[in-house]
Structure formats: C-alpha cells, structure tokens
C-alpha cells in the first residue's frame, strides 16, 4: 500500500490528537466526549483528598512568617536615587533642607 505524504500527515495528526485527548491534554470538544468521560467517572469515581472533603477548609490560613528580602538600606538608596533624579542631580539647598526638616517634625502638617 502506497500512502502519500499528505495522507500520512492526516493519519499522524489524528493519532497524535487522539493520544493527547486520551491522556487528558485536550479538553473534550463534543457531547460524545463528555458522555464518555461521564461514563468513565461513573465506573471509577475520582478519589478526593481529605483536604477537599470540606470545601471551606482551604480558606483556613496557617500562620506564616514574612521574610523581608530587601534590605532597608537598599530601599533608602533607591529612594535617594529617585529624589536625585527629580532634582536632575543637583544638591538640595540648605534652606530647603531646613524647611523640609521643620515640615517633617511639625505634627500640624499631618506628618507622623
């Protein structure tokens, strides 16, 4: 039997498709596919893990420890670089620095 390249490709495409579908890598596409799956599940139901027996159990959170992976010095440097960029690399004049310190220490301005 002489099979042309096109016919061989079609046969292989169908074989590959059916193989992937049988392993669950392709979502069911027809009502017949869903009926087959339903019949298989009736014959051999899936076993749920105990953690899934209570649908709300996954909402219970365990205590976790939060780890800060970024050093605060790095964050400060990063902020300084932004402020330097905003000033186009120029130094903040002394009178502006004094005013900034006063504003920061003055509770009436809403700064804590």
In-domain check, residue 61 = no
Domain assignment present for residue 80? The answer is yes
Residue at 6 is within a domain: no
Domain-embedded: residue 57: no
* Number of domain units in the chain: 1
pTM above 0.85, yes or no: no
Whether residue 55 is contained in a domain is answered as no
Instruction: For the chain, 112 residues long, give each residue's pLDDT as a single digit of tens.
Output: 456 666 766 777 888 888 888 888 888 888 998 898 899 889 988 887 776 777 777 676 666 667 666 777 777 777 766 666 666 667 777 888 788 788 878 776 555 4
Give a three-class secondary structure readout of 71-103. CHHHHHHHHHHHHHHHCCCCCCCHHHHHHHHHH
Query: Would you say residue 96 lies in a domain?
Result: yes
Q: Kindly state whether residue 78 falls inside one of the protein's structural domains.
A: yes
The domain of 87 spans 72-107
């Amino acid at each position: 039997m002489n099979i042309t390249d096109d016919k061989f490709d079609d046969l292989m495409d169908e074989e590959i498709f059916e193989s992937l579908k049988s392993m669950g890598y392709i979502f069911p596409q027809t009502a017949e596919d869903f009926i087959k799956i339903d019949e298989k599940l009736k014959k051999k139901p899936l076993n749920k893990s105990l953690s899934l027996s209570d649908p709300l159990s996954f909402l219970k959170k365990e205590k976790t420890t939060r780890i800060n992976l970024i050093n605060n010095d790095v964050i400060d440097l990063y902020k300084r670089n932004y402020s330097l960029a905003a000033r186009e690399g120029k130094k903040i004049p002394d009178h502006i620095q004094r005013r900034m310190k006063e504003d920061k220490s003055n509770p009436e301005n809403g700064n804590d």
